[in-house]
Amino acid sequence: MNRITYLFIVLAFFLSQTSFGGIAFSQFGDHSNPANTQGDYRWVVEGFDWGPAVNKVILSLAENTKEAQAAHYQVYANRFLDGVEIPAENASGMRSVVYAYISDEKGNRLEEGKNITLVLGVSPAMPLGSPFQYTRINNRGRNYWVDYRLTIIHTKTGQVWNNPVGKIMPLVDDFDLTGKFSYGNNQYMSYATYTPANIKGKVPLIIWLHGGGEGGYDPTVALLGNRAANYASPEIQILFGGAYVLVPQAPTFWMQGPEGMTRGKDNDVYNEALFALVQEFVSKNPNIDPKRIYVGGCSNGGYMSLKLILEHPDYFAAGYISALAYHNEFITDAQIQKIKSVPMWFIHAKEDPTTIADQTVVPLYHRLKAAGAKNAHFSFYDHVTDITGFYGGDNYRYNAHWSWIYSHSNLARTDFDGSPVMLNGRPVTIMEWLAAQRKK
């Protein structure tokens, strides 16, 4: 359905509700409002295992109401990105409303109020729900925010909401998104930071480095593209006793070399500036414990995490790396000796079609163990599956490159041989293990 068809459907609905050209409003609860047919709404974007989705819309009302029924609302979505042709079925159409409740303007539930929150259906197989569009520009693929528009219709009254007045991004809104680090010849990197509340004494720093599709100058893309904002969630923060989170963003992609993409053979163009950014951030935040600085990332970011550890093995307390893109053949035996004492936990999937395990993480892990690495772990999954159970559980398979799902959700807990990773005599998850690592 193209944009013209979409607008025609909405217009047809209006016409079906009119008599002699006027809206035929019927009374419904406390929120029918014939005088205001163009209402305001806020949309909510949350990160999911497969990426971001618009999963709620918050409607503003003229008067208080105590009633909200999902069946009385129709929601039409329109996705547009200038210069990019989005397939018609992904560009516009109806969104399903699965639940409705009275709320405040931020979506917090109330018994009575001037807002109604509609919970929208989302799934990994629903591009219409995503505010991102992955596309290739100048022969390089990455995620972009689309112009995401909604039209909401109350079918009993004809009330329409089509004026967006704000966007809410749970967890992401807890980050400072204004970070900029200048380097080189008038160049800069954007970055996002999370500062824990009620800091007492020294606290650790968690660094996350995004994948190849999240470069640019908008760190919300890096936080939502791989669900990295979850490192600021209460469930993970409590394991660290509170932790800073630093999410830098490559202007292009972390594996950019002098000519094209490097897999480790040639030096990339960003690692020196990135390390300088980390050092500056630590120096400006004296509450960071220099003995508990952790670096991790996925794919491109996994490459860069390992690169930083190779270059500065005495700086980081541990690494947590998913879908490693650094090719083992370009790591020397001398480098293995340098990093064998750095605690590391790798996550990968056997069927990964993008970062081939036998070319990257598998031989690296075995070389580390053969060199005497005592604190190297490797969760090696057959597939990457639905961890929520909503879409089929183990029977629903994501792209096997997406093994970072098990890091963000703190579900990785097994070693290469399938046995649980143990710490102080008990099995632990990857974030429990990470929180316990400290430089000697």
Helix or strand or coil: residue 393? helix
Nearest CA to 368 among 406, 328, 401? 328
d(CA 331, CA 70): 57
| Percent of residues, the chain, with pLDDT higher than 90 | 89
Cβ–Cβ < 8 Å for 278, 426: no
Domain membership of residue 38 as a residue range: 3-168
Final residue belonging to a domain, choices 123, 150, 168: 168
**362, β-bridge pairs:** none
Q: What pLDDT score does 15 carry?
A: 38
191-216: average pLDDT: 96
In a domain, 440, yes or no: no
pLDDT one-digit tens code per residue, 316-345: 999 999 999 999 999 999 999 999 999 999
Assess whether 184 and 270 both reside in one domain.
yes
Instruction: Give the total number of structural domains in the chain.
Output: 2
- Residue type at 111 in one-letter notation: E
CATH number for position 388: 3.40.50.1820
pLDDT one-digit tens code per residue, 66-97: 999 999 999 999 999 999 999 999 999 999 99
Share the mean pLDDT of the chain.
92
- Model-wide pTM > 0.85: yes
Q: How many of the other CB atoms lie within 10 Å of CB of 372?
A: 11
In a domain, 116, yes or no: yes
pLDDT one-digit tens code per residue, 121-150: 999 999 999 999 999 887 788 999 999 999
pLDDT one-digit tens code per residue, 1-41: 444 444 444 544 443 343 323 333 332 333 444 444 689 99
Show the CA angle centred on residue 337, arms to residues 331 and 340, nearest 5°: 95
Final residue belonging to a domain, choices 113, 144, 168: 168
* C-alpha dihedral (178, 182, 187, 192), degrees to nearest 10: -30
Q: What pLDDT score does 22 carry?
A: 32
Final residue belonging to a domain, choices 133, 168, 203: 168
Assess whether 152 and 193 both reside in one domain.
no
In a domain, 112, yes or no: yes
d(CA 219, CA 223): 6
Assess whether 196 and 146 both reside in one domain.
no
* pLDDT surpassing 90 at residue 282: yes
302-315: average pLDDT: 98
d(CA 40, CA 98): 21
In a domain, 416, yes or no: yes
Q: What pLDDT score does 16 carry?
A: 39
Nearest CA to 55 among 168, 177, 218? 168
